[in-house]
Amino acid sequence: MSFALKSLSVSCLDVPAAADFYRNIFSAPSTTDGESIATDLHGTGRLELVPAQPAEPSAASGTAYQRAVLTYIRPGPGDVRTMTDAAATHGADIFKPARKALFGAFSGSFMAPEGTVWKLAAAGKDTASLEGAARPTETTVTLGVREPKVSKAFYAALGMSVDRDYGNKYIDFLPADGASWLCLMQEPVLAKDVAASDPHVGTSSVTLRHQSASHAEAERIVSAALAGGCAQTGQGNSLDPGSATISDPGGPPLDHLGPATLSRGKVATRLPNTRITWQRKSTSRRRLEATGRSAVTSESWTCPR
């Protein structure tokens, strides 16, 4: 089975306000699930807008740049100008106004009110028939990492297929149907591309998410994470259900959603290391009958950057 990243989790101080922003800018339909809101990027990816935890500030509460840039590619320059203007009207902080750049590229960048950094880019020339349509030709997630070649090995080990590889300058992976492209660039280069601030501070609010189909697949991902540079540092117990979280050696967290076998632990992203907590559920029938919840054992790793 290939490793597909079909959704991005974004921590928000105000989830409904974030959903309204994306509805206004991208005409993105959304569905509510408890305190979270899922926003569909017209079949090219999905945003999971989730409440920021007290000890996990959203991007907007810290630095303007979180080592991850989401790109929304539109058919023509007119589309980019229109959406950039709309973003500014609805509270976005414009980093780079929409304009023609080196080698004829046309793009602009902004920080959404909840703190996520976006780049809007044109795939070609203006066409009147597509003007005003919100659907993108594709979406991408570009991670600012220390060494793209190191992170490439990590994602390849998880099951992603490399498409273009320019060493430490730029690497991307083939997306699954309905998913965003995953790209890797060095942190300073990515920050400069979107005219963002210091890339070396703050906690990332963007988490890549994958849903496994089986327990065996979940175990394979754990093994791949260990082989990719993670070292086990601790063990404990918890009853907090949800998902498991890992990190590549040089990038932001990645949520792994298992089939009722893994649950989420607290993630703290700091330099120079990233601490990750996996939590495995026990499927004890007696425990489930007594409490309605599975016992959880947590294991922590620290991945060198």
The predicted structure's pLDDT at residue 156? 85
Q: Closest Cα partner for 248 from 305, 300, 195, 202?
A: 305
Angle at 58 between CA 198 and CA 108, to 5 degrees: 55
Residue 79: pLDDT over 80: yes
The DSSP symbol for 104 reads G
- DSSP, res 133: -
| pLDDT winner (highest mean) among 119-128, 224-233, 283-292 | 119-128
For the stretch 26-50, pLDDT in tens is: 999 999 999 999 999 999 999 999 9
Rounded distance between C-alpha atoms, residue 87 and residue 89, angstroms:
5
Taken in order of first residue, the domains within the chain and their CATH numbers are 7-193 (3.10.180.10), 212-304 (no CATH)
Tell me the angle at which helices 77-89 and 15-26 cross, rounded to the nearest 10 degrees: 150
DSSP state of 123: S
CA nearest to 152, candidates 177, 170, 132: 170
Residue pLDDT, tens place only, 103-115: 668 999 999 998 8
In this prediction the pTM is 0.74
